Amino acid sequence: MAEDTGLFGGVFARGGVDTGGRGWLRAMLDTEAALARALERAGLAPAGAGAAVTAAATTAAATLDPAALGGQAALTGNPVPALVRELTRMVPPDAAGAVHQGATSQDIIDTAAMLLARQALTAVTADLAATADGCAGLAAAHRDTLMIGRTLLQQAVPVTFGLVAAGWLTSLDEARQAAGRVAADRLAVQFGGAAGTLASLGTDGPRVAGLLAAELGLSCPLMPWHTDRLRVIDVGAACAGASAALAKIARDVTLLAQPEVGEVREGSGPPDAGGVRRGGSSAMPHKQNPVAAIAILGCTRRVPGLVATLVAAAEQEHQRAAGAWHAEWEPFADLLRLTGSAASWGAELAGRLIVDPGRMRANLDAAHGLPLAEHVSGLLAPALGRVAAHDLVARASAHAVTAGVPLREALLALPELREQLERVGVTQERIDSALDPAGYLGAARQFTDAALAAHARCSK
């Protein structure tokens, strides 16, 4: 779990993403140290300056108080000037000139944000991969497990749980690939100096920028991007995609885990040191809440607003923004943290989900054949025409609901319906076959197998 998470960190700061105050501090110090090394490599700082600043930055990361630096930020509008003063004080005098040389505060914070994004996206993609592996296992194990499909929250036609899990799997793999592309291609150093010209370094600026990028393992952009915030938006979009894929799974689980449905449930796992099991209620001992799914939704519900803030903040004035850049810091950090937490919860959810095929079949059978009305209508359409067949089966379905009888009985009980069925040669045996849910799954198995094959390729 990340540092500085507070009372709600167990839910909203789960996993390997650390964007708290100390995480930001480490990233900013890593940037300052890398800049000193780049300046030395460019011949613009004395020999040993890079190592001296790096050693001081390591010490500062462990000893400086992020909150104290934050308090000093009120004097300058951001915490970098205070950080630079502290770091300069900690290095030998002959290396002090290498601290922050050529940079502006935004260079340090933006580059630190890219370092945080890289760490976060690495953790998120790993947890998405674990979640996808869990879903792949569910899809393979339940390739032929029948259940009722639901559209607009109403019973529709039969599907398989394997198909449901395959849908989860495909979204996760696509979100993981998208996040990987952003991590590989869109995370770049920021190094432009006061107004994006690196004038204080003369003609050496672009070379130092390239060396800084190499030191940090980030891309070197064509030019500084102080007021071009597309990279920030791309990170936000990757987080939004991952969150959407995870939220879909979590929402399905909360619906399927309702006692009235009871088709899945979360595994509680072992109790904690105090004997408390996952999912308990403070007031209702009988409850088994789907905690992982709920936590995912608690995280992902906040993501769209954070992304919207980043997009709104992308409109920035001239060479450096007045306020819009500052508006990014906390939403960006929160977005990474919440996406990381949701992904960590997702890996646990998929790995512990318990499926009840018997309850799925019972719920399907309780619909008394009505979910197969479309199949029966298709059986009659060649002889009666599509509209007439639809209307006939609709009448039988309405009678089945009103009388509380299975669709088969309704089809065969009404004299005028029975006569039409006999006239077109539709026997009871053919109706029974049409009412078998296993015979109306279309390409469910092919789709499931295709998703599993794609996942295997994605995982290589």
Q: Does 320 qualify as catalytic in the annotation?
A: yes
The whole-number pLDDT of residue 424 equals 78
Taking alpha carbons only, the member of 26, 13, 77 closest to residue 335 is: 13
Taking each helix axis from N to C terminus, what angle separates 230-256 and 161-185, rounded to the nearest 10 degrees? 160
Among the residue ranges 72-86, 107-121, 296-310, 413-427, the one predicted with the least confidence is 413-427
**What local confidence, expressed as pLDDT, does residue 282 receive?**
55
pLDDT, tens digit (0-9, with 9 covering 90-100), for 36-49: 999 999 999 999 99
Distance CA 314, CA 307 (A): 11
pLDDT band at 298 (very low <50, low <70, confident <90, very high): very high
Write the CB contacts of 174 (distance below 8 Å, at least 6 apart in sequence). 241, 245
Two tokens, residue 125: 């993609």
Query: Looking at residue 281, what is its pLDDT?
Result: 47
Cα dihedral across residues 419, 422, 428, 430: positive or negative: negative
* Radius of gyration of the CA atoms of the chain, in A: 30
Q: Is the pLDDT of residue 165 over 60?
A: yes
19 pLDDT exceeds 80? Answer: yes
Task: For residue 63, count CB atoms less than 10 angstroms from its CB and return exposed for 0-12, middle for 13-18, buried for 19 or more.
Answer: exposed
pLDDT at 386 over 70: yes
Q: Give the pLDDT confidence score for residue 54 in this predicted structure.
A: 98
Q: Of 252, 17, 216, 9, nearest to 126 (Cα)?
A: 17
Q: What share of the chain is helix, strand, coil (3-state, %, to 5)?
A: 65, 5, 30
* Whole-number pLDDT of residue 18: 92
Confidence of residue 177 (pLDDT cuts 50, 70, 90): very high
Average pLDDT over residues 76-97: 96
**Is 281 known to be catalytic?**
yes
Residue-level pLDDT at 275: 53
Output the average pLDDT for the chain: 93
Task: Please tell me which residue in 320, 361, 395, 418 is annotated as part of the active site.
Answer: 320
Question: What domains can be seen in the chain, in order of their start residue?
Answer: 9-358 (1.20.200.10), 370-434 (1.10.40)
More confident residue, 131 or 422: 131
Q: What is the pLDDT of residue 417?
A: 73
pLDDT category at 11 given cuts 50, 70, 90 is very high
Whether 334 has a pLDDT exceeding 80, the answer reads yes
Catalytic residue among 281, 301, 386, 433: 281
* Confidence class for position 159, pLDDT limits 50, 70, 90: very high
Tokens of 404: 């509380």
CA distance 294 to 299: 9
Could you give phi then psi for residue 396, rounded to 5 degrees? -65, -40
On the CB side of 124, how many CA atoms lie within 13 Å of its CA? 38
Report the residue count for the chain.
Answer: 460
Q: What is the mean pLDDT of residues 222-248?
A: 98
**Which whole number is the average pLDDT over 358-384?**
92
Residue 336 pLDDT > 90? yes
* pLDDT score of 314 more than 80: yes
Contacts of 200 (CB under 8 A, 6+ apart): 101, 102, 193, 194
Report whether pLDDT(268) > 80: no
